[in-house]
Amino acid sequence: MSLAVTPFGSAARPDTAGLLRRHWPLLPLASTVLLLLAPIAAGDASTSGKVGPADAASLVLVLVCAVQALRGRVRELSPLGVAVLGVPAVGLAVATATAGDPYAALPGFVRYLQVFVLVPAAIVLLVRDAGEFRLAAGCFVVLALVQGAVGVVQFATHTGASYQGEDIRAVGTFGPGDVMGMATVVAYGLVVATAAALAPGLPGRVRRMAGGAALVLVVPLVLSFSRGAWIATVGAALLVMLLAGIRRALRVLLALAAAGVVLVGGFGVGSEMVAERLTSITQVSSAPDQSVTDRYTMWAAAESMWRERPAVGVGLKGFPANRDGHSSLGLSSGSDTAGAGQAFIRQPLLSPHNMYLLVLSEQGLIGLTALAGGWAALLVAGLRRCASGGGGIRDCGLIAIGLFVWQLTDFLYADIGGPSTVLTGVIIGLAAWWALPSPSGGDAFPGGPGRAGVRTAPGPGGGPAGAAAAGRRTGLVAAPRAVPGADGR
């Protein structure tokens, strides 16, 4: 027998003081996500490239993880986990040391280390059980709902970013300097809500609330007019539905289709512009617009840089300096941004808008193998754990796989940049937490075995009763559940 955790059941009231004592290391993680609600000053498009409140919170998260590690209060890591989380740092160090100007590459080294090494590792070590994973995932839904609400108001009141001559593009608090910011966080929340709505182990009330949130978030995602976010969301949602089961998937698909028909067909929510945007997806090769032409040109430039230095690339932050020497005349001087309280600004094109090509051009085959190889390992391991049942916490697997697949798909036509970049590290961390379970099997419930420094108070009869008592103290209800294996995995 083992224990399965159901979140916040009706049989127990959460003790606020007890929750804070137990989960305080998660506060920096929650802050990293929720501080993206802070608005960016209008008229300062360069703000998206600076250190923001969410980045500062991620630094606190890493520091808390270091302190907890010294105290022996973090999860154990398997050898595979050490390799997947540590090898990218080696690739980054090589790319920095071999850059034409190593000092200019240092800011890129710090940013990549933050997003792809430190933040993911901190999450894997600090998130100790399924309950804490769910708390972290819930922050994505809160962020998405608030940003989405701001975006809908922007569309309705014509106070959004400029799109086809009208200030109607929903961008949330990110502003026109980062038009992908709101689309990205809303898509994250939509994927989490969809996975929770389909999870067989969650209470019916939670699934219904998650399904409602997913339907609501469809609106701001549509109004973002972001083709890339649409494609990645559809792909991730379909995979989550298939993993959850065909019957559940059909119900959700019907609900989402009905919502789309009502919104676009019935109420005419941007119907002409949405239809035109959808049509443009199929015209990327036959009749591409200028943004697609620019993207193709920068992809070719990235490939040319890699051919020049195939092993190590041109160095971190080296793409902008080498862009013009490897680009054709078809590249425009920049993209136009305006609206949402900002005057007209022409932003330069400083990246290829493809994460894999960006890494290949700046870090060469060494860097791409270190990063993408680790992502592939996490994806395979995560899917295998989902297929095996997940030890009673399958909802965590659906959320982790859904978010991770969304990010890997989005990387095909986008790269890191802007305040929401820090969430990339959070997503990789949640995916790694799921794909790399603790060797001692203490992931499924609070107070599980093998979690150093975390003790479960014994109850009458010891064992499961003690774990149930710990669950009541943290607002989590523990119920007996038979699962394969004595360690709960």
Q: Which of 413, 381, 416 is nearest to 284 (CA)?
A: 413
Place of tokens 């298939």: 242
Which of helix, strand or coil describes residue 460? coil
Do β-strands 342-347 and 335-339 pair in parallel, antiparallel, or remain unpaired? antiparallel
Contact between 32 and 161 (Cβ < 8 Å): no
Q: What secondary structure does DSSP assign to 121-149, as a single string?
A: HHHHHH--SHHHHHHHHHHHHHHHHHHHH
Q: Which of 143, 123, 104 is nearest to 321 (CA)?
A: 104
Contact between 163 and 39 (Cβ < 8 Å): no
Which of helix, strand or coil describes residue 337? strand
For the chain, what is the radius of gyration of the CA atoms?
23
Contact between 196 and 135 (Cβ < 8 Å): no
Contact between 240 and 191 (Cβ < 8 Å): yes
Q: Tell me the C-alpha distance between 238 and 208, whole Å.
A: 19
Q: Tell me the C-alpha distance between 73 and 87, whole Å.
A: 24
Classify residue 195 by its DSSP letter. H
Classify residue 161 by its DSSP letter. E
Q: Tell me the C-alpha distance between 354 and 315, whole Å.
A: 16
Alpha-carbon distances, residue 198 vs 7, 132, 202, 251 (angstroms): 16, 19, 9, 10
Residues of the chain short of pLDDT 50, as ranges, are 1-12, 43-49, 267, 445-489
pLDDT score at 476: 38
Contact between 169 and 162 (Cβ < 8 Å): yes
Helix segments in 199-245, DSSP class H: 204-223, 227-244
Which of helix, strand or coil describes residue 480? strand
Report the number of secondary-structure helices (H) and strands (E) in the chain.
18, 6
Do β-strands 335-339 and 2-7 pair in parallel, antiparallel, or remain unpaired? unpaired
**Close Cβ partners of 271 (under 8 Å, ≥ 6 residues apart):** 264, 265
pLDDT score at 471: 41
Q: Which of 456, 424, 300, 444 is nearest to 36 (CA)?
A: 424
- Paired with 163 in beta bridges are 166
Q: Which of 59, 226, 92 is nearest to 147 (CA)?
A: 226
pLDDT score at 118: 96
Q: Which tokens belong to 226?
A: 């972001």
Give me the amino acid identity at 384: R
HSE-CB for 367 with a 13 A CA cutoff: 31
Q: Which of 384, 398, 482, 477 is nearest to 437 (CA)?
A: 384
Residue 321 exposed, middle or buried by CB count within 10 Å (0-12, 13-18, 19+): middle
Note the pTM of the prediction, 2 decimals.
0.83
Helix segments in 388-463, DSSP class H: 394-410, 421-435
**Close Cβ partners of 352 (under 8 Å, ≥ 6 residues apart):** 295, 298, 299, 301, 302, 319, 358, 361, 415
